[in-house]
Amino acid sequence: MSLTLYNTLTRSKQPFEPIDPERIAMYVCGPTVYNRVHIGNARPAVVFDTLYRVLNTLYPKVEYARNITDIDDKIMKTAAELGEDISALSTRYAQAYFDDMAALNNLSPTIVPYATQHIPEMIDMVTRLIEKGHAYNIDNGVEGEQGHVLFAVQSMSDYGALSGRSLDDMLAGARVEVASYKKYAGDFVLWKPSADNEPGWDSPWGRGRPGWHLECSAMIEKHLGDTIDIHGGGQDLIFPHHENEIAQSCCAHDGKPFANVWMHNGFINIEGEKMSKSLGNFRMVNDLLEQYPGEVLRYVILSAHYRSEQNFGKDLLDSAWRSLDTLYGFLRTHNDIEAASVDISDSDAYIALLDDLNTPMAISELHKLAREMHSAEGDNLPLAKGRLLANAGLMGLLQQDPEQWFTLSRGSDDISAEDVEALIAKRNQAKTDKDYAGADAVREELKSLGVVLEDSREGTKWRRG
């Protein structure tokens, strides 16, 4: 089997052909660290983490880079508002991002480059772009204009290829006022001057800071090479961010392709509406994590195809939680069975993932595998369990201890495990005494505390639900 991916560049699914099968290079746009991240930021992380896991089954070495944008006007603004040092702020939120992503069972990327640690590389790239006639420096001494370096989009013949726009199209609907010093309205900033009270770095064009798009091009060049296999990010980044990355990198490399496959995940909406400041409906990952296990968030994200728009809501989260309860319930029943190591290369779940990351299909196969495990007997049981766990592992699911899944506290004021055990003992005594009314009273009491009891031949199990 081979991997097929949808390429935004060609707007079609195509077989993935690595540049070098010994080393796959993938880059995904990471967060700008000026706040906690919302669930929409988590989608690309989960999606491309899953792709990373799949790639690792196919190739010996996968270099997966996800950047941290730690210099940006939004960061500067927030730091000023909080009266906090910019690097302290960005360090704090970068760590918060890592924590949130880890809670969603994302593996760490192999490379996590920071923008501020690549300023020389960025300046070098701008210098080359100017030399090659793709960029120009504003050197007119005019306050507010002096010190800008702009990319000249007209110097690139196929600018707009990724987003499918012509220069005229882009300008026709432009909503933003055009700076007068631009030679052409579509030109974008590579380098901009910093005021004395703003962070800045010395450059051939004066003290300043990089434009947003520059860091990705420079860091990819440094860590992954001129041409990479896969570049990913949110759908909204197609234009202008990725378009401009392509412009910078291709022009700096005399037209060499930048990324062979461009992948973009769809947006997450909240109860049918786009997350936005005006609606005040952002769902921050850390807030959600107070109410739901990270695996529930991950399951929800993977329950829809990554290119589709997805509606986040309470019903969806609760439904996902119950689905995971069912799966972990099967695993709990067979907790004493040791999973056999199995070859999953011909499993339907794996095949689904190879088809442009069809995670909804793969998850449905997980449910089938769980039922197969449940009905398996003898030597087939360890094999069936192995198949379930291995396939789930490709998506970062079902890897925790099922006992823990059901008994871990699900809220701040939960009854303790010890107290639950004590009440179960009390109930068992009542049952032994044939005092069923008393036993039921205990059951009801625990139920009101969010604990469900399950009797079986082996004794009474409990879970929070």
Partner RNA sequence: GGCGCGGUAGCAAAGUGGUAAUGCUGUGGACUGCAACUCCGCCAUCGUCGGUUCGAUUCCGACCCGCGCCUCCA
Which helix or strand (DSSP H or E) is residue 26 part of? strand 24-28
Stretch that binds RNA, among 97-105, 267-275, 384-392, 414-422 (CB under 7 A): 267-275
Return the residues of window 53-72 that contact RNA according to CB under 7 A. Answer: 72
Based on the shown chain and the rule CB under 7 A, indicate whether residue 187 belongs to the binding site for RNA. yes
- Could you tell me the smallest distance in angstroms from the CB atom of residue 346 to RNA? 17
Nearest residue (CB) to RNA, 91 versus 323: 323
Give the residue with the Cβ less far from RNA, 166 or 341: 166
User: What CA–CA distance (Å, rounded) separates 215 from 183?
Assistant: 23
Site residues (CB under 7 A) for RNA, limited to 371-410:
371, 374-375
Identify the residue among 58, 111, 340, 361 touching RNA (CB under 7 A): 361
Cα–Cα distance for residue pair 355/14, rounded to 1 Å: 10
Entry field: residues in the chain: 465
For residues 404 and 119, what is the distance between their CA atoms, to the nearest angstrom?
46
Query: Which are the contacts of 170, defined by CB distance < 8 A and separation ≥ 6?
Result: 160, 186, 239
Question: In the chain, how long is the greatest CA-to-CA distance?
Answer: 95
Report which DSSP code applies to 322. H
Tokens of 184: 């052409």
Binding of residue 91 to RNA (CB under 7 A): no
Query: Which segment (105-113, 165-173, 194-202, 380-388) binds RNA by CB under 7 A?
Result: 165-173
Least separation in angstroms between CB 22 and RNA? 29
CB of 344 to RNA, least distance (A): 18
453 binds RNA (CB under 7 A): yes
Min dist. Cβ of residue 433 to RNA (A): 11
Among 15, 81, 141, 175, binds RNA (CB under 7 A): 175
454 in contact with RNA (CB under 7 A) = yes
State which of residues 439, 446, 451, 464 lies at the interface with RNA (CB under 7 A): 439
Q: Using the rule CB under 7 A, is 254 a contact of RNA?
A: no
With respect to RNA, which residue has the nearer C-beta, 120 or 164? Answer: 164
Closest CA to 349 of 390, 377, 398: 390
194 or 323: CB nearest RNA: 323
Q: Does 162 bind RNA (CB under 7 A)?
A: no
- Stated as kind and residue range, the H or E segment containing 4 is strand 4-7
426 binds RNA (CB under 7 A): no
Q: Nearer Cβ to RNA, position 203 or 265?
A: 265
Helices (H) and strands (E) in the chain, counts: 16, 15
Q: Is 185 in the site for RNA (CB under 7 A)?
A: yes
* Least distance in angstroms from the C-beta of 31 to RNA: 6
Using CB under 7 A, which residues numbered 202 to 231 contact RNA? 211-212
- The residue within the footprint of RNA, chosen from 18, 44, 109, 386 (CB under 7 A), is 44
| Rounded Cα gap, residues 16 and 419, in angstroms | 55
318 binds RNA (CB under 7 A): yes
Q: CA dihedral in degrees (344, 349, 352, 356; nearest 10)? A: -80
Q: Where are the beta strands (DSSP E) in 199-336?
A: 208-210, 228-234, 259-265, 268-270, 273-274, 310-312
Q: Does 169 bind RNA (CB under 7 A)?
A: yes
Q: Please say which residue, 18 or 162, places its beta carbon nearer to RNA.
A: 162
Euclidean distance between CA atoms 247 and 211, whole angstroms: 14
Q: Output DSSP code: residue 258.
A: S
Query: Considering beta carbons, is residue 18 or 86 the nearer one to RNA?
Result: 86
342 binds RNA (CB under 7 A): no
Return the residue of 55, 156, 162, 237 that touches RNA, per CB under 7 A.
237
Rounded distance between C-alpha atoms, residue 346 and residue 352, angstroms: 10
Report the C-alpha gap between 41 and 268 in whole angstroms.
9
Stretch that binds RNA, among 48-56, 60-68, 220-228, 365-373 (CB under 7 A): 365-373
Structure letter (DSSP) for residue 376: -
Residue 70, CA distances (Å) to 24, 208, 435 in order: 26, 15, 65
Choose the stretch contacting RNA; rule: CB under 7 A; options: 39-47, 76-84, 117-125, 400-408: 39-47
Whole-angstrom distance, CA of residue 444 vs CA of residue 449:
9
Q: Is 172 in the site for RNA (CB under 7 A)?
A: yes
Is the Cβ of residue 18 or residue 442 nearer to RNA in the bound state?
Answer: 442
Q: Contact 247/58 with Cβ under 8 angstroms?
A: no
By the rule CB under 7 A, 199 interacts with RNA: no
Interface with RNA (CB under 7 A), residue from 20, 255, 322, 422 = 322
Residue 48 β-bridge partners = none
